[in-house]
A and B are shown apart, each in its own frame.
Chain A
Amino acid sequence: MSPRFSGLAVLGAGLVAAVALAEPGATRPADALARLVALWGAVMALAAVALAARVPLVERRLGQTHALAIHRVVGPAAAVLVTAHVGLVLLTYRSDGQDLLSTGLELLLGTQWMLPATAGFVAILALSASSWHRVRARMRYETWWAAHLYMYLAVALAFAHEIFVGPALPAGSVRRGAWVAAHLAVLAAVLGFRVVAPLMRSLRHRPRLVDVTADGATLVVTVSVVDLDALALQGGQFMYWRILARGLWWQAHPYSVLDASDGCLRLAVRATGDYAAALGRSAPGTRLAFEGPYGVMTAARAVRPGITLIGAGAGLAPLLGVARDAPGDRDIRIIAAVRDRDPLLEDELARGAAEREHRTGRAVPRHVARGPLSPSDLTAAWIEKHAPGVADDDIYVCGPPGFTRAVLDALTTAGVPPQHIHTEVFAT
């Protein structure tokens, strides 16, 4: 099921929920429409928050990449619907000859709870603008991240007017009860799965920085972890990491796990960006915290006898985890794209392949493409050349978004059924 299809399915389910929540037999059709659109938008906003709450069931069944792809359909839809609601309300509540501005001011200042609701609307507009890809590309990641926190505030600001203004959700009704319960459930999920659970896990596993090796495009970071087995980490998964130091603790970055053994995790970190630099400067023994592991791009997904791994840059790290975990009777081959000088990652690649060859007695053919690759190079023919018969394999793809997209397009052209393509896009 493609994310776009799932996104539309969630939109449809949201409309059904909105119709169920809407009051039966409203007096004026225009009022009823304005409120239905509002409820639909509010349900979608709540769904967007829930999809980003890292609910274990969603993370395991759907995967974060898929969940966030739906989030990116549902979130903008919420913004559009809420904007439509504001427009419809202005038009509906306008009395004869009154202009929209004075109608707006009258509603805003003359009705209780409308000022918070409008503040929430402004927050949603600002957030939508910051998430628009052209604006986002010019923005620091941290600013964009902080802007996203305002979505929680926007939902809370709008909540009072949903309940107390107008007859949409009257006191004592089942509909009001359901609406309040849905908000409480999402609040509990966000607090539980994004705050409490990661805190508990970090307290239990007490991760500390052991050492950072830097040479070329990838850093290899070694972290000591208490009770490593209890993490139930699978090859191909990733974790969000934070450095518990002044000015750094508040942001978390996704790094994939190269391997886990002897009470230590080794992470592959792309050597660009402020956070990677801060990691490189941190002293051994520095406390860290983590969220996860997350990710569904694991060996357990492969059902065919052959597995082709196609990766670029730090995206090769989780693929090595897949190669390690895959049963010994599978034939594995690797296509690696290494743009910048990256000796550490190439070493890992060679070592991972050699280990598997030694363990299973089966060769692991590798093709390493060095230097820049453009999406036009990554054609079906190019993949077929380096991995003949690729359409009969389970295929794992991981790399920067542009690379991943180009490879997925090529694989679709080559006729690989979508259920045999496994991919993960890190939400960096």
Chain B
Amino acid sequence: MIARAPFVLAATMAGTVAVFAYQPPDIATAGTELGAATVAGQDAPATAPVEVLGPPVDTDYGPVAVTAVVDPSTGRVVRARATMYPTELPKSARINRTAVLTLEAAAVGRSTADGIATVSGATYTSEGFRGSLAAALASARTGSTP
């Protein structure tokens, strides 16, 4: 037992340092890749797309607002942009800058906001994004722009 102790101790320390030193991969690469889909989605509509502004939706970290370009004939999102999201804390800023790219890309082609997957690490921003986009899509359907 005591003879094994130095090895167990060394392995424990190495493991502890390793798990703390781990840095998750940046989501930015995934975001830019998917960003290309925004352009591809523009070729379908015959009628002129309309731009609708989603209201700011409060989250625990701050408000999120989305502006969406919607094809009125299909009701689907042509392009989405988060115009407001929390950047107050450095950590929020780092997470959200990449997360909104993913969310914007995920919104394209959808007629509802419900199916947009939560970006891990940015649960609240994802929720705010969905809330604001849902309101924007609702106003596009009724034809009123807030």
- Contact across chains for B27 and A116 when beta carbons are under 8 A apart: no
- Contact across chains for B118 and A146 when beta carbons are under 8 A apart: no
- Contact across chains for A166 and B15 when beta carbons are under 8 A apart: no
User: Quick one: which of B19, B20, B117, B127 contacts A27, CB cutoff 8 A?
Assistant: B127
> CB-CB contacts of A12-25 with B at 8 A, as 1s and 0s?
00000000000100
- A143 CB within 8 Å of chain B: yes
> CB-CB contacts of B105-140 with A at 8 A, as 1s and 0s?
000000000010110110110010000000000000
- A142 CB within 8 Å of chain B: yes
User: Quick one: which of A23, A28, A110, A140 contacts B127, CB cutoff 8 A?
Assistant: A28
Our count of residue pairs bridging A and B at CB distance below 8 angstroms stands at 65
Known: A95-B118, A111-B24. A27 touches B1 (CB 8 A): no
Which residues of chain A come closer than 8 Å to B60, judged between CB atoms? 23, 26-27, 167, 170
Complex Cα–Cα for A67 and B22 (A): 38
- Contact across chains for A31 and B123 when beta carbons are under 8 A apart: yes
- Which residue of chain B has its CB nearest to the CB of A114? B24
- B142 CB within 8 Å of chain A: no
Which residues of chain A come closer than 8 Å to B23, judged between CB atoms? 112
Which residues of chain A come closer than 8 Å to B15, judged between CB atoms? 119
Total B residues in contact with A, Cβ cutoff 8 Å: 27
- A329 CB within 8 Å of chain B: no
Which residues of chain B come closer than 8 Å to A153, judged between CB atoms? 12, 16
Q: How large is the interface on A (under 10, 10 to 19, 20 to 34, 35 or more residues)?
A: 35 or more
A93 to chain B, nearest CB (A): 6
- Contact across chains for A95 and B27 when beta carbons are under 8 A apart: no
- Which residue of chain A has its CB nearest to the CB of B2? A247
B25 to chain A, nearest CB (A): 7
Which residues of chain B come closer than 8 Å to A118, judged between CB atoms? 19
- A132 CB within 8 Å of chain B: no
User: Quick one: which of A26, A106, A115, A247 contacts B120, CB cutoff 8 A?
Assistant: A106
- Contact across chains for B20 and A164 when beta carbons are under 8 A apart: no
- Which residue of chain B has its CB nearest to the CB of A113? B20
- A347 CB within 8 Å of chain B: no
Which residues of chain B come closer than 8 Å to A27, judged between CB atoms? 59-60, 124, 127
- Contact across chains for A119 and B19 when beta carbons are under 8 A apart: yes
Complex Cα–Cα for A27 and B126 (A): 12
Complex Cα–Cα for A426 and B86 (A): 56
Complex Cα–Cα for A109 and B23 (A): 8
Complex Cα–Cα for A119 and B16 (A): 8
- Contact across chains for B24 and A164 when beta carbons are under 8 A apart: no
- B8 CB within 8 Å of chain A: yes
B11 to chain A, nearest CB (A): 12
User: Quick one: which of A93, A140, A167 contacts B61, CB cutoff 8 A?
Assistant: A167
- Contact across chains for B19 and A115 when beta carbons are under 8 A apart: yes
Which residues of chain A come closer than 8 Å to B124, judged between CB atoms? 27, 167
Which residues of B are in contact with A by a Cβ distance under 8 Å?
A: 1-2, 5, 8, 12, 15-16, 19-20, 22-25, 27, 59-61, 89, 91, 115, 117-118, 120-121, 123-124, 127
List 27 A-B pairs, Cβ < 8 Å.
A27-B59, A27-B60, A27-B124, A93-B118, A93-B120, A93-B123, A98-B117, A106-B120, A109-B24, A109-B25, A110-B120, A115-B19, A116-B20, A118-B19, A119-B19, A142-B1, A143-B1, A146-B1, A146-B5, A146-B8, A150-B12, A157-B19, A166-B123, A167-B61, A170-B60, A247-B2, A250-B5
Q: Which 8 pairs across A and B sit closest by C-beta, in order of nearness? A: A95-B117, A167-B60, A116-B19, A115-B19, A110-B120, A111-B121, A247-B2, A115-B22
